[in-house]
Amino acid sequence: MDAFRFQNPTALYYGKGQIESHLASEVLQVGKRVLLVYGGGSIKRSGLYDKVVGILKDAGVTTFELSGVEPNPRLTTVHKGVDICRTENVDLILAIGGGSVLDCAKAIAMGAKYEGDVWDIYARKGKATGALPLGTILTLAATGSEMNAGGVITNWETKEKLGGGSPYTYPRFSFCDPENTYTVPRDQTIYGACDMLAHCFEHYFHRTEHTPLQQHLIEAVIKTIIENTKAAIDNPTDYHARETLMYCSTMALNGMISMGIQGDWACHAIEHEISAIYDIPHGGGLAIIFPHWMDYTKQVNPARFASLATNVFGVNSEGKSDGELADIAIAKVRNYYREIGAPQRLADYDIGDEQLTTMASQAVRFGEIGNFKKLNKDDVYNILKASL
């Protein structure tokens, strides 16, 4: 495996009753002026907003609010949050929502401590110089943003969606109560499963040798996601399915299963280009792209795909070549997406071939993407074209 340094400072509170017992003390350890960041209103409809505001009020905390964070959060919203932090001398940002809200809060936290425009950090023109402390209350199992330092912001003016982060943007604490995901709609539950699965795949396909534990940990997370998705879709208040998916989403992207390996991440880069132009849900875009990326790259290491077939999908390998097993694995992945009702083609979002060249060139704007297989502009174009 590759040499690595690992540190993840986020305090995780998992399960029922944790917000009631520990939110106030976590907040008060930092300060009494808190910016609440949330989305389009799901937390008001579910009652979570009232619960949190009540707890903070009782603790003597003064709250400010930034609401209306968009799915695929926008830079303009980040700027509004930075302004509030500076004007109101905010001590702590508390993000309540899904990955978009958490990512927006991370950008605000960095922006409040950055002299220029925080977009510099995402556009690779500057480095974070610090961040306000950040806490999260997660309401959607998908991104892993609750326990990682990354975030993705869309600059709608330039049609760019870019990832960024810093050692300062790990949440100080995150509350993950599966009951807060009961109200997640069917489509978002599906997209969330596709996203966490994609994070596993991004780690699984790498070029580092001698990584058996990483391989089996990732396989375990993939299997667990597949085993629990349908239950959460069919019965949104199935506590055990919701808690298991929530734990899978955290584990898929908090660094625990990917130490000592360098994942691929080309599919994420490609999906971000689709979202940057068409504003589609991240998990939906990944479900479309991944099987086509797999078809395109399987020759690099068919044995890796064969492991997916045997260890995850339980395929009997007797008498089959790695190439045959690779095709079976990819078919199984496609089948899973189909069964849970994930989108299959770009046409499902009414996306045609008009912007393929633009998306392909933008995806490689910083150079070739991917580690399992390096992709240039033509490769990205071919994968997008196959996904139409």
Among 96-104, 166-174, 314-322, 335-343, the segment contacting ligand NZQ (CB under 6 A): 96-104
Cα distance between residue 88 and residue 339, in whole Å? 49
Residue 169 is a binding residue for ligand NZQ (CB under 6 A): no
- Minimum CB separation of residue 202 from Zn ion in Å reads 8
Q: Which is nearer to ligand NZQ, 91 or 271 (CB)?
A: 271
Binding site for Zn ion (CB under 5 A): 195
First to last CA, the chain: 37
From the list ligand NZQ, Zn ion, none, pick the one residue 184 interacts with, judged by a Cβ distance below 5 to 8 Å according to partner type.
Answer: ligand NZQ
Asked if residue 311 lies in contact with residue 216, where contact means CB atoms within 8 angstroms, the answer is yes
The binder of 97, among ligand NZQ, Zn ion, none, by C-beta within 5 to 8 A per type, is ligand NZQ
Segment near ligand NZQ (CB under 6 A); pick from 4-12, 84-92, 176-184, 377-385: 176-184
82 binds ligand NZQ (CB under 6 A): no
Q: Which region, judged by CB under 6 A, interacts with ligand NZQ, from 95-103, 212-220, 237-245, 366-374?
A: 95-103
137 binds ligand NZQ (CB under 6 A): no
The answer to whether residue 188 forms part of the interface with ligand NZQ (CB under 6 A) is yes
**Burial of residue 302, with CB atoms counted within 10 A of its CB: 0-12 exposed, 13-18 middle, 19 or more buried:** middle
Binding to ligand NZQ (CB under 6 A): which residues in 293-352? Answer: none
Among 111, 133, 151, 284, binds ligand NZQ (CB under 6 A): 151
Q: Which is nearer to Zn ion, 195 or 238 (CB)?
A: 195
Q: Which two tokens stand for residue 242?
A: 């919701």
- Alpha-carbon Rg for the chain, nearest whole angstrom, is 20
Say whether residue 77 binds ligand NZQ (CB under 6 A): no
Q: Decide: helix, strand or coil at residue 36.
A: strand
Residue nearest to ligand NZQ (CB): 39
Q: For residue 111, what is the enclosing H or E element? A: helix 99-111
Q: For the chain, give the number of residues.
A: 388
* Residue from 255, 56, 53 nearest 145 by CA: 255
Contact 23, 175 (CB under 8 A): yes
List the one residue out of 253, 252, 78 whose CA is nearest residue 161: 78
State the alpha helices, DSSP H only, in the chain. 18-28, 42-46, 48-58, 75-88, 99-111, 119-122, 186-204, 212-234, 239-252, 266-278, 282-297, 302-307, 322-340, 356-363, 377-386
Partner in contact with 145, chosen from ligand NZQ, Zn ion, none, beta carbon below 5 to 8 Å by kind: ligand NZQ
The residue whose two tokens read 């306000």 is 132
C-alpha closest to that of 182 among 253, 245, 250, 251: 245
Q: Which is nearer to Zn ion, 91 or 195 (CB)?
A: 195
What minimum distance in Å lies between the beta carbon of 303 and Zn ion? 26
| Shortest Cβ 6–ligand NZQ spacing (Å) | 16
How many binding residues for ligand NZQ (CB under 6 A)?
A: 37
Tokens of 315: 């395929």
- Rounded CA-CA distance 35/248 in Å is 29
Give the number of other Cβ atoms within 10 Å of residue 349's Cβ.
15
Strand stretches in the chain, DSSP E: 11-14, 33-38, 62-66, 92-97, 134-138, 150-155, 160-165, 173-176
Taking the complex as a whole, the smallest distance from the CB of residue 384 to ligand NZQ amounts, in Å, to 17
Residue 42 contact among Zn ion, ligand NZQ, none, beta carbon within 5 to 8 Å by kind = ligand NZQ
* Cβ at position 119, least distance to ligand NZQ in Å: 15
Cα gap 232→369, rounded to integer Å: 34
Q: Tell me which residues in 225-284 interact with ligand NZQ (CB under 6 A).
A: 253, 268, 282-283
Residues 192-211 close enough to bind ligand NZQ by CB under 6 A? 192, 195
Residues at the site binding ligand NZQ, with contacts judged by CB under 6 A: 39-43, 46, 71-72, 97-101, 103, 139-140, 142-145, 148, 150-152, 180-181, 183-185, 188, 191-192, 195, 253, 268, 282-283
